[in-house]
């Protein structure tokens, strides 16, 4: 839809050309810009239009438009703000998502622009100069809700406004009081301290006292007495009802077509398909707590205005709550939440609409003197020192085999490996561990690789980073630490050889006497790989160079779309694989018959230039558990301060994800965190079809590597603070350091002498003394993750089978299952055979870690010892005597599989 600059309100000229916030307010029926000094200050009697512009990693700008309606704004101003928001969208090429924001019920995305909060002011915005406040300081009582953004609302200055669930801020002329309800969370209290700091700086010029009041504390503190005296003296706060407010009821999802006259016609409910949305029409999707208006790409601006008015009238007539969020979407800019309401949304991505939009407005911006950025080159920065020490172990049954230095850059796709990379950090050497799962490896080797890696990491100094990666999904960092890597087909581990023998399939393990085809890839001498692929012509691609070994003949094949850099890598790889080779160089299109015959004949293969995938910006999510349900919530405009020590967060970088574990979170095992990462991939929050084999990193607070911190403006001093988030913020507010307020999590964790398998032989599997959850590589079924004392959530079932589905070397071949018993639930660890003489016997259901009726007074490290001989054999799969002859790690693994560890 073309929209010419002559149709745009002059106040919008140049809008959206630079990243940041631009705000306009309705004043006397016209839109006027809000000066930068007033950004973040909203008047309850006014209506505003807010434009947020950000530059994506991929180059184009992204726009989000919000129109904010104060509670006292009149209908005319509110309607004009709605129209102006749509007009601004059209001026930007119809490439923005629009949101209606109502005072007190703002979206978290909107509030994230104004951290720590917005506190609306009574009155009406005016551009005229003059004092707006009287001489008397107005005492105000505010509620503050939210852990990553603060929803601040003024309530009557009365004792009856207080409750045990929320946090309150009492702002007086000389002192600010923070009252923390006994049921409020630590994160909410910490966020409220940021609001207190904001009020202190902006309303008191930084010159006032701050007092924190603990709910239930009555004597011994002068601040407490002063606080209650302002309410006329202390009186008990009534207990809140058990429900704590109205419970949300699931509403049916209804799709309406909006006619040109603004009439709504229902066309579908609950079971919806994307095909129901036509390009030349507008629709409303009513989801109860949120309502979307979808506008086809071919609709006119007049139709869009009518549709928006129709949706607002619908909410008004139905007397919907102000908390009902209203979002306006143009075709091609659908949010992941909107798409989730449809049965299936095509994943064949159309051209991003803002790519089209930016081309439409690029000429306007350039004409006005603004720079338009081009797409950046791929970022190949390593972030860590890549000249460190590398150790590689092959998983071989239940043992690990350390590879000699000359062989550690040669991997086999039928095997699994554990990689330890040690590099110099800022203050000490740091370690990074990978479990690399070959594409053709068997399930048992994959399970053992993750289990062994976790055991090594658990004993290592400095809480190293742990990552699980699958072949063909490796992150760039993995290739950079190897620098040169050759991946051969087949395998040499006992698990792979057993699979070949039992299934009778051909063993394609690399042999110089056999025909082999290698694809050469990379960006330079410090990042180059040769990957053996099927030796058929369909494996070729014009964007790459290849090495074909056939008997005594060796060909190098140069694709038509390759560069001199690719040719240089080809020459280097020939030298590395076999310096004695004398290859015959072949250009694409001039291949001899012998070349094609070695590949089984000539067939079609990709000849178009491989396009770089769209580079999305990272997203940060918080794991939450409500009434037993596993949920994630996005944190918008995230910063380092959003890494709250009580939380577990996921940084979704699209190609890989990072699970960040706060020191004070309830997650105490990296295996548990790894499983949460898998669960996140399965939920597909962003509707982006992330592979279940996407790399998963596990990072602990205080030990974040540079390739994680690069996504933040990082302050190392914050990462080293101790105490919970409230203690940290309070210490900062009062100008004190919080180091020493609580011991570091790492101080509780004994370390072994060396982070290698050799250092683990006499190690108890539960070296840190914390209750371990199940490993994502064990064959658990229906297991539970402990999030808190109250809630638990079901994990993927079974985890290992979901994680490693189809992991046999050949697609139609059966997958070898691990030999550990396939029972349900998760686990804990034990010591040994003296427990077999225990005379106390309890039923299995009362001995499990997740039991709802747990036995008290037992040794929780030896739960299995309290089983009868019959139940022991049934659950563990062997008699007690045989069990206690197994290696300690094997005992722990079996107990983990049946929720006894």
pLDDT single digits (tens) 625-636: 665 567 888 999
> Which pLDDT score is estimated for 625?
64
Which pLDDT value is given to residue 614? 60
Edge-to-edge strands, sheet with 389-396:
399-402, 389-396, 416-424, 429-437, 465-470, 696-700, 657-661, 648-652, 619-626, 629-635
pTM above 0.85, yes or no: no
Residue 116, pLDDT > 80, answer: yes
Strongest mean pLDDT among 195-204, 789-798, 861-870? 195-204
Q: Which tokens sit at 266?
A: 């229902």
Q: Is the pLDDT of residue 835 over 90?
A: no
* CB count in 10 Å sphere of residue 426: 7
Is 535's pLDDT higher than 70? yes
261-303 pLDDT per residue, tens: 999 999 999 889 999 999 999 999 999 889 999 999 999 999 9
What was the pLDDT predicted at 883? 86
pLDDT value of residue 627: 58
Cα separation, 875 vs 42, in Å, equals 64
The least confident of 24-33, 244-253, 694-703 is: 244-253
C-alpha 749/C-alpha 767 separation (Å) is 7
Dihedral in degrees, nearest 10, Cα atoms 63, 69, 73, 76: 60
Please determine, for residue 901, whether its predicted confidence score (pLDDT) is greater than 80. no
> What is d(CA 117, CA 82) in angstroms, rounded to the nearest whole number?
23
Name the residue with tokens 């190098």: 556
> Which pLDDT does position 834 carry in this prediction?
38
* Structure tokens, 42: 């909203």
Q: How confident is residue 197, by pLDDT bands cut at 50, 70 and 90?
A: very high
φ/ψ of 171, rounded to 5, equals -105, 110
User: Looking at residue 343, what is its pLDDT?
Assistant: 85
Selected residue with higher pLDDT from 375 and 846: 846
Reply yes or no on whether the pLDDT at 108 is more than 50: yes
- Whether pLDDT at 238 is above 90: no
Question: How far apart, in whole angstroms, are the C-alpha atoms of residue 901 and residue 894?
Answer: 9
pLDDT of residue 126: 87
pLDDT for 792: 32
Share of the chain above pLDDT 90, in %: 52
896: nearest Cα among 786, 817, 778: 778
Spelled out in words, what is the top-level CATH class assigned to the domain 254-342? alpha beta
Alpha helices in 486-592 (DSSP H): 494-503, 564-577
Which of 319-323, 582-586, 838-842 has the highest average model confidence (pLDDT)?
Answer: 582-586
Homologous superfamily in CATH for domain 844-897: Villin headpiece domain (1.10.950.10)
The answer on pLDDT for 741 being more than 70 is no
Distance CA 455, CA 469 (A): 17
Span 713-719, average pLDDT? 86
CB-CB contact of 50 with 96 (8 Å)? no
Strands (E), 771-811: 784-786, 792-794
Name the residue with higher pLDDT: 812 or 90: 90
- Arithmetic mean of pLDDT, 512-538: 94
659, 699 contact by CB (below 8 A): yes
> Is the link from the previous residue into 865 a cis peptide, with omega within 30 of 0?
no
**Contact by Cβ (8 Å): 816, 822:** no
Instruction: Give the residue from 647, 655, 708 showing the smallest Cα distance to 681.
Output: 655
* Angle between helices 443-459 and 670-683 in degrees, nearest 10: 130
Element (H, E) at 73: none
DSSP state string for 413-469: TTSEEEEEEEEE-SSSEEEEEEEEE-TT--HHHHHHHHHHHHHHHHHSTT--EEEEE
pLDDT given for residue 775 in this prediction: 33
pLDDT of residue 357: 46
844-897 has the same fold as 393-426+438-443+474-599? no
Instruction: Examine the pLDDT at 774 and tell me if it is beyond 50.
Output: no
Name the residue with higher pLDDT: 108 or 684.
108
Average pLDDT over residues 419-436: 92
The 8-class DSSP code of residue 772 comes to P
The 3-state DSSP composition of the chain as helix, strand, coil percent (nearest 5) reads 25, 25, 50
| Cβ-based neighbours of 866, under 8 Å, separated by 6 or more | 838, 840, 841, 842, 847, 855, 858
Lowest mean pLDDT among 220-224, 665-669, 685-689: 685-689
Could you give the angle at the alpha carbon of 140 between the alpha carbons of 139 and 142, nearest 5°? 160
Burial of 513 from C-beta contacts in 10 A (0-12 / 13-18 / 19+) = exposed
475 band by pLDDT with thresholds 50, 70 and 90: very high
Least confident of 73-87, 121-135, 377-391, 425-439: 121-135
What CATH class has 393-426+438-443+474-599? alpha beta
Q: Is the dihedral of CA 659, 819, 459, 430 positive or negative?
A: negative
What distance in Å separates the CA atoms of residue 895 and residue 458, rounded to the nearest whole number?
18
Task: Name the phi and psi angles at 246, rounded to 5.
Answer: -65, 135
Distance CA 901, CA 827 (A): 3
The phi and psi torsions of 891 (rounded to 5 degrees) equal -60, -45
Predicted confidence (pLDDT) per residue in 334-350, tens digit: 988 898 889 878 764 44
Q: Which of 347, 320, 362 is nearest to 102 (CA)?
A: 320
Choice between 804 and 397, residue whose per-residue pLDDT is larger? 397
Residue with the larger pLDDT of the pair 245 and 252: 252
| C-alpha angle 375-381-383 in degrees, rounded to nearest 5 | 140
CATH of 136-233, one of 2.60.40.420, 3.40.50.300, 1.10.10.10, 3.40.20.10: 3.40.20.10
Q: How confident is the model at residue 747 (pLDDT cuts 50, 70, 90)?
A: very low
Determine phi and psi for 709, rounding to 5 degrees: -65, -15
Q: What is the pLDDT of residue 755?
A: 52
Mean confidence (pLDDT) of the chain: 81
- Output DSSP code: residue 851: -
Q: Residue 761's beta-bridge partner residues?
A: none
The kind and range of the H/E element at 520 are strand 516-524
- Spatial separation of the C-alpha atoms in residues 195 and 144, rounded to whole Å: 8
Domain spans, the chain: 136-233, 254-342, 393-426+438-443+474-599, 619-734, 844-897
Task: Name the more confident of 683 and 729.
Answer: 729
Tokens 């839809």, residue located: 1
Assess whether pLDDT exceeds 60 at residue 319.
Answer: yes
User: Average pLDDT, stretch 151-155?
Assistant: 93
Higher local confidence (pLDDT), 824 or 249? 249
CA distance 835 to 858: 11
Sign of CA dihedral 582, 583, 585, 590: positive
So what's the pLDDT on residue 516? 95
Domain 619-734 has CATH 3.40.20.10: yes
pLDDT tens sequence across 359-400: 444 444 444 444 444 434 445 678 898 889 999 999 998 899
Q: pLDDT band at residue 427, thresholds of 50, 70 and 90?
A: confident
């Amino acid at each position: 839809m073309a929209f010419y600059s002559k149709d745009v309100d002059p106040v919008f000229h140049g809008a959206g050309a630079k990243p940041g916030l631009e705000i306009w307010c309705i004043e006397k029926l016209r839109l006027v810009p809000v000066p930068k000094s007033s950004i973040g200050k909203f008047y309850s009697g006014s209506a505003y239009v807010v434009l947020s512009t950000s530059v994506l990693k991929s180059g184009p700008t992204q726009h989000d438009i919000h129109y904010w309606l104060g509670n006292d704004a009149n209908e005319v101003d509110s309607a004009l703000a709605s129209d102006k928001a749509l007009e601004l969208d059209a001026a930007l090429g119809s490439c923005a998502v629009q949101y209606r924001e109502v005072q007190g019920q703002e979206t978290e995305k909107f509030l994230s622009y104004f951290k720590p909060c917005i506190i609306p002011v009574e009155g009406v915005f005016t551009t005229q100069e003059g004092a707006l406040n009287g001489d008397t300081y107005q005492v105000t009582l505010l509620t503050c809700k939210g852990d990553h953004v603060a929803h601040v609302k003024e309530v009557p200055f009365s004792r009856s406004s207080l409750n045990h669930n929320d946090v309150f801020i009492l702002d007086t002329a000389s002192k600010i009081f923070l009252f923390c309800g006994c049921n409020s969370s630590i994160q909410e209290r910490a966020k409220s301290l940021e609001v207190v700091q904001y009020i202190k700086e902006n309303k008191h010029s930084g010159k006032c006292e701050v007092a924190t009041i603990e709910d239930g504390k009555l004597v011994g503190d002068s601040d407490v007495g002063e606080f209650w005296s302002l309410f006329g003296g202390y009186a008990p706060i009534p207990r809140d009802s058990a429900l704590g407010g109205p419970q949300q009821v699931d509403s049916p999802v209804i799709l309406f077509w909006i006619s040109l006259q603004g009439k709504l016609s229902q066309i579908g409910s609950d079971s919806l398909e994307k095909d129901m949305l036509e390009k030349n029409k507008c629709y409303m999707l009513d989801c109860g707590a949120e309502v979307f208006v979808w506008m086809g790409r071919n609709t006119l601006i007049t139709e869009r205005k009518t549709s928006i008015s129709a949706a607002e009238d619908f909410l008004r007539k139905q007397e919907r709550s102000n908390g009902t969020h209203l979002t306006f979407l143009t075709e091609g800019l659908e949010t992941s939440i909107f798409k989730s309401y449809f049965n299936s949304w095509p994943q064949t991505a159309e051209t991003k609409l803002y790519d089209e939009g930016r081309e439409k407005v690029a000429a306007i911006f350039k004409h006005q003197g603004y720079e338009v950025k081009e797409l950046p080159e791929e970022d190949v920065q390593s972030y860590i020192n890549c000249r460190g020490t590398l150790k590689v172990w092959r998983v071989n049954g239940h043992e690990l085999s350390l590879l000699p230095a000359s062989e550690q850059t040669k991997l086999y796709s039928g095997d699994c490996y554990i990689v330890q990379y040690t590099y110099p950090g800022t203050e000490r050497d740091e370690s990074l561990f990978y479990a690399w799962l070959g594409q053709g490896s068997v399930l048992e080797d994959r399970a053992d690789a993750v289990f062994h890696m976790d055991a090594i990491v658990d004993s290592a100094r400095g809480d190293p980073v742990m990552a699980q990666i699958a072949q063909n999904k490796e992150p760039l960092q993995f290739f950079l630490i190897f620098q040169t890597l050759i991946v051969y087909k087949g395998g040499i581990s006992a698990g792979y050889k057993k699979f070949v023998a039992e299934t009778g399939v051909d063993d394609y393990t690399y042999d110089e006497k056999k025909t082999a085809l290698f694809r050469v890839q990379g960006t330079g001498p410090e990042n180059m790989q040769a990957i053996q692929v099927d030796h058929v012509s369909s494996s070729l691609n014009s964007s790459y160079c290849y090495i074909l070994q056939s008997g005594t003949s060796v060909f190098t094949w140069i694709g038509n779309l390759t560069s001199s850099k690719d040719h240089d890598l080809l020459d280097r790889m020939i030298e590395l694989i076999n310096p004695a080779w004398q290859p015959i160089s072949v250009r694409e299109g001039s291949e001899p018959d012998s070349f094609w015959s070695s590949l089984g004949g000539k067939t079609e293969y990709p000849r178009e230039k491989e396009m770089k995938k769209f580079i999305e910006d990272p997203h940060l999510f918080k794991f939450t558990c409500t009434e037993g349900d596993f949920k994630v919530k996005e944190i918008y405009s995230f910063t380092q301060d959003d890494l709250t020590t009580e939380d577990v967060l996921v940084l979704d970088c699209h190609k890989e994800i990072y699970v960040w574990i706060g020191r004070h979170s309830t997650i105490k095992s990296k295996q548990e965190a790894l499983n949460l990462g898998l669960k996140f991939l399965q939920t597909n929050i962003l509707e982006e079809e992330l592979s279940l084999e996407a790399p998963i990193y596990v990072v602990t607070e205080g030990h974040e590597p540079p390739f994680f911190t690069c996504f933040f403006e990082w302050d190392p001093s914050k990462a080293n603070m101790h105490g919970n988030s409230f203690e940290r913020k309070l210490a900062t507010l009062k100008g004190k350091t919080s180091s020493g307020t609580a011991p570091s999590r790492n101080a509780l964790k004994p370390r072994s002498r060396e982070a290698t398998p050799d250092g683990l032989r006499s190690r108890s599997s539960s070296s840190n003394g914390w209750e371990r959850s199940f490993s994502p590589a064990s064959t658990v079924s229906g297991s539970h993750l402990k999030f808190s004392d109250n809630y638990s959530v079901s994990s993927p079932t079974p985890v290992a089978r979901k994680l490693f589905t189809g992991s046999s070397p050949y697609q139609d071949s059966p997958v070898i299952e691990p030999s550990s018993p396939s029972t349900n639930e998760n686990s804990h660890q034990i010591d040994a055979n003296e427990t077999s003489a225990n005379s106390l016997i309890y039923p299995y259901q009362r001995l499990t870690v997740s039991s709802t009726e747990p036995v008290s007074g037992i040794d929780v490290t030896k739960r299995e010892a309290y089983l009868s001989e019959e139940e022991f054999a049934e659950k563990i799969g062997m008699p007690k005597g045989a069990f206690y002859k197994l290696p300690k790690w094997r005992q722990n693994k079996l107990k983990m599989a049946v929720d006894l560890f």
